[in-house]
Amino acid sequence: MSDGTTQDVESTEDAPQQEINPALAKQLLELKCTQLESTNTQLTQDLTESQTSLEAALKDLYKYRSPCQRCGHDAGEVLKADPEALKSYFAGVISGTNFSKEYIMGAGDNTLKLVFTNLSTDESEHVARLEYACGIAKKEGTDESLYSALDLARISVIAHLTTIQTETVVSILECETIVDVIALYKELLGSRPNAVTSYIHRCNTAYAHLNNLLFEASLDEDFWKGAGLS
């Protein structure tokens, strides 16, 4: 005597399988493809609209942006590094030397030559301590004048400017306090025309931005190929 389960299995195995209609299957497949294409088109359209809205929002945001207090950089400015700077920077990365860039104002005998150089680790840490000291002075109210955008810019200029004309600028490591930085800054630039000082600050800002671009480029493991060093 057999149970019901055995009979069900036997009846299922004996049942004829339903044949698949190729024409119907093709129609169903085409319908599914059409639905997927429609969905993809809608998603693409939604993505495009979102990107357009984001770009418009960023433009509106840039209308009200304020430049960086430290370097004066305009966040909406598109920056590019020239190929020669890339080669020089990457050569320095490989050889372990600091990257320098020369800026020249004027022509012929009436020129102003400036050289800006990357900081060593010791110099970078010293600059961080000076900036931190500015913040503490501001917080404690010991001297409001010690913490301003101008003083932070002065620290950056003195730290990176290594040569002005043929004169070598004293290392930032020689400045133990922000007061020393301001004194050196005024000694170096105090008697110069304001236009010259403004130009020096602009060059320092450009150099800082260039360094950021070069550093980002150096994160690519194949950076040396684009720099023509292969």
Domain spans in the chain, listed from the N-terminal domain onward: 23-64, 83-226
Q: Identify the pLDDT of residue 223.
A: 61
Average pLDDT in the 74-83 region? 60
Worst-scoring range by mean pLDDT, 11-25, 28-42, 147-161? 11-25
What residues are paired with 107 via a beta bridge?
110
pTM over the 0.85 mark: no
pLDDT digits (tens, 9 = 90+) for 121-164: 999 999 999 888 877 655 555 555 545 667 888 899 999 999 99
Please provide the average confidence, as pLDDT, over all residues in the chain. Answer: 76
**82: closest CA among 180, 213, 188?**
213
